[in-house]
Structure 1
């Protein structure tokens, strides 16, 4: 299981997020040490002076000879002027002491300033209320309101730091996505070339490095396209040059005397084989385009191909049709696939050929399979049999150009489909399964 991101986009976003997280933590610590802490200390100093005044007044009243009513009036006047309320333990509990929160930092700072143990608690309402309990007045609690204490709250600071971090990460993601957009276009174009398609020239945009890569890719794409065109032209020229002498040989053979009929038939059969091989070469290098696509139902194409097989075939063909949707295909190419598969099954099978069709709802793919009752192909030879100019010497036969299944694979891949070879469970021979996507956007032929 991989924890670290693998794509460049994910790595860039992770790097930006990590740096921002470190920056936010450092900023939070720095603000706490150099902004919040000094403010707390300043507030504690102001409150401590007021508490010292209350303690001094309490000590003076205890030593003075004033009457009790006079002492109470003087204490009320002082507390009203300073905004400090003096409450007993029971009164403090009734006023909400149990709903307060103790702060160890403020308690230690207040103890340091007063020179005696002190406990500081804070309750939040419309305004912040500070509750102070000291050893100098063990039976009482001092309460005062601080309007300015709201400026030292941590919540807005934390909220703004998180907001800045989220916005920075989103901005980094947008920037990284913009940077990677040319690379995604390169990836899509490279996949088209891998499927035998000819992609359009990519726009040169992005960083200088990406522009250089895009320019090199466009040059390579032009080279591949030119090479494909040269190969098709070469094959067309070679096939034309070969058919001309073959035609002359055939005409000369047909004019041979009847006594040479056996020899003439052998020569004509060899000429037909050579023409078939030339046709296979042309089929292999032919470039289909998306303009050739039409929405077709494979059941109708299979019925058409099966209905036109030669009468000389010895195998009995059975077709099991299932209800399937239409797919965008080049009909002539799919018919070539079906005919090639049926010819292989007829050549290497014994007496039976079975064709099945179906629709995979989950994968949104239409499929068909061609099975025979021949000896099959060893598993070690399956992957090599789809390569060009690879014959089934080690599997089932030695004749042919070795392009039959290669042509099938090339056509199916250009339709963005998939071909697989295996053993038929019903007939015991080779089974070739072809899958074609239903969606035209994901499955049309190039």
Structure 2
């Protein structure tokens, strides 16, 4: 269910609050049953006994001085209905629970009402009688918070504050672990995480640090291998091209020789493959980021395209696009790779659009073409290194173009999406609007 908490902090806090509420309810019931109720019963017993004593003395008409003295000492007074109404009976509140307790002592039905003034007035009427008895008890200040309520409130606030602190302390290493795992998925390897928290969390952090170190070493070895291969291939490729040019016919015959033209074409392709290897190795290294306008980068890529391609790129750019913190060279590489893919595997026209989504706090740009496109599953497969979509590709390239794009976008904390539109295919890049760290 969506209403249930999902994070470890919220679940721990809800658990602690639930336990606290149960504890408060049980404490309230226990105090009520074993502290408050006995006190009310004792008070009801004393009130009933005072009324009984007053009735007994009132029956001894030969002792008027005794009756008056007892009334002054005990505070028990007897009024008619009219007198009681004048002296505060109308503002009193009935309490059936106390009436039941007084009835048990007097052994006859009674009605009991309470009224709070400077003192507590207990009004008692015995069933069948027209008169009311009033017993005054020592009252309490209404402006003061009842001790029981103050106790429960204080315990509740302290328990919730302590539970919140404990939940945050318990989940802080997990949040660090979550952020480190997210950074590692983008190819960013941070420093070793501190092994803090409970023993289980420390064990998980220790295992994660070991895994991160192994993956960082593996990534470094792979980068070194690809860089070494790229470096070692350039020298024999240069020698092969030099030998082909020395052995090829001179003049116009060289341009018409299919063998020479094929060798030169293959060498250019291999150099392009080597360049993609180097780009793939360098793609996680974002370097210094700057606050730039994406529209300016798009214009630069479109201008470069005009020198090499006959088909121009159409631009549909937003005028109110805010600046964003990115690595300029890396984003240009993303645009160039998407344009190359659109030309190689799509159909004209090629359109680059940009915009801003203020609700999602992000800017976006997309490269569209008029081709049939590919399925979502195939697109995700092609974003993996050295992967190609057989249905959409002719076997050219190394399968690193979209992999480089994905790694750069992930390193910027963005999203790479595809959209199959009625008029063609679209690849969309979404970048967050965030301040520089």
The question of a shared fold, defined as TM-score above 0.5 by the shorter chain, is answered with yes
- TM-score, normalization: structure 1? 0.89
The 1-side partners of 2:375 and 2:21 are apart by: 58
Report the CA distance shift for 1:308/1:18 in structure 2 as closer, same or farther (over 3 A): closer
Is contact 1:239-1:278 (8 Å) kept? yes
Tell me what 1:407 maps to. Answer: 404
Report the CA distance shift for 1:369/1:23 in structure 2 as closer, same or farther (over 3 A): closer
**Residues 1:271 and 2:262 are matched in the alignment:** no
Q: Secondary structure at the match of 1:168?
A: helix
**Residues 1:255 and 2:252 are matched in the alignment:** no
The 2-side partners of 1:274 and 1:319 are apart by: 32
The 1-side partners of 2:145 and 2:60 are apart by: 40
Alignment size in residue pairs = 430
**Residues 1:364 and 2:361 are matched in the alignment:** yes
Q: What are the equivalent positions in structure 2 for 1:422-433 lying under 5 Å apart?
A: 422-424=419-421, 428-433=423-428
Tell me what 2:53 maps to. Answer: 53
Is contact 2:116-2:139 (8 Å) kept? no
Alignment partner of 2:117 out of 121, 125, 133:
125
Tell me what 1:317 maps to. Answer: 313
Alignment partner of 1:202 out of 173, 193, 203:
193
Tell me what 1:96 maps to. Answer: 88
Tell me what 1:381 maps to. Answer: 378
CA deviation string 1:318-350 (max 9, x = no partner)? 222322122111111111111112222222344
The 1-side partners of 2:265 and 2:297 are apart by: 29
CA deviation string 1:85-112 (max 9, x = no partner)? 2210111112221221222232222222
Report the CA distance shift for 1:212/1:44 in structure 2 as closer, same or farther (over 3 A): same
Report the CA distance shift for 1:218/1:19 in structure 2 as closer, same or farther (over 3 A): same
**Residues 1:161 and 2:141 are matched in the alignment:** no
The 1-side partners of 2:18 and 2:360 are apart by: 39
Tell me what 1:42 maps to. Answer: 42
Q: What are the equivalent positions in structure 2 for 1:236-255 lying under 5 Å apart?
A: 236-255=227-246
Alignment partner of 2:77 out of 50, 74, 85:
85
Q: CA deviation at 1:267?
A: 0.4
The 1-side partners of 2:208 and 2:375 are apart by: 40
Alignment partner of 1:218 out of 209, 212, 215:
209
Q: Secondary structure at the match of 1:255?
A: helix
Q: CA deviation at 1:237?
A: 0.7
**Residues 1:333 and 2:306 are matched in the alignment:** no
Q: Secondary structure at the match of 1:363?
A: coil
The 2-side partners of 1:165 and 1:318 are apart by: 65
Tell me what 1:25 maps to. Answer: 25
Is contact 2:362-2:432 (8 Å) kept? yes
**Residues 1:189 and 2:180 are matched in the alignment:** yes
Report the CA distance shift for 1:257/1:57 in structure 2 as closer, same or farther (over 3 A): closer
Report the CA distance shift for 1:311/1:199 in structure 2 as closer, same or farther (over 3 A): same
Q: What are the equivalent positions in structure 2 for 1:295-310 lying under 5 Å apart?
A: 295-309=291-305
Q: CA deviation at 1:74?
A: 6.4
The 1-side partners of 2:286 and 2:241 are apart by: 38
Q: Secondary structure at the match of 2:386?
A: coil
Is contact 1:381-1:395 (8 Å) kept? no
Q: Which stretches in structure 2 are left out of the alignment for 5+ residues?
A: none
Tell me what 1:232 maps to. Answer: 223
Alignment partner of 2:343 out of 334, 346, 357:
346
Is contact 1:378-1:395 (8 Å) kept? no
Q: CA deviation at 1:174?
A: 0.9
The 1-side partners of 2:361 and 2:51 are apart by: 80
Q: CA deviation at 1:170?
A: 2.0
Tell me what 2:435 maps to. Answer: 440
CA deviation string 1:375-421 (max 9, x = no partner)? 43345533323222222320243321121122112211111111222
- TM-score, normalization: structure 2? 0.90
Q: Secondary structure at the match of 2:350?
A: strand
Q: Secondary structure at the match of 1:95?
A: helix
The 2-side partners of 1:40 and 1:31 are apart by: 12
Tell me what 2:13 maps to. Answer: 13
Q: CA deviation at 1:361?
A: 1.9
Please give the root-mean-square deviation of Cα atoms over the aligned residues, in Å: 2.5
The 2-side partners of 1:6 and 1:346 are apart by: 45
The 2-side partners of 1:117 and 1:348 are apart by: 97
The 1-side partners of 2:145 and 2:31 are apart by: 10
Q: Which stretches in structure 1 are left out of the alignment for 5+ residues?
A: none
CA deviation string 1:284-339 (max 9, x = no partner)? 12154454212221111122222222645232222223221221111111111111
Alignment partner of 2:103 out of 100, 111, 129:
111
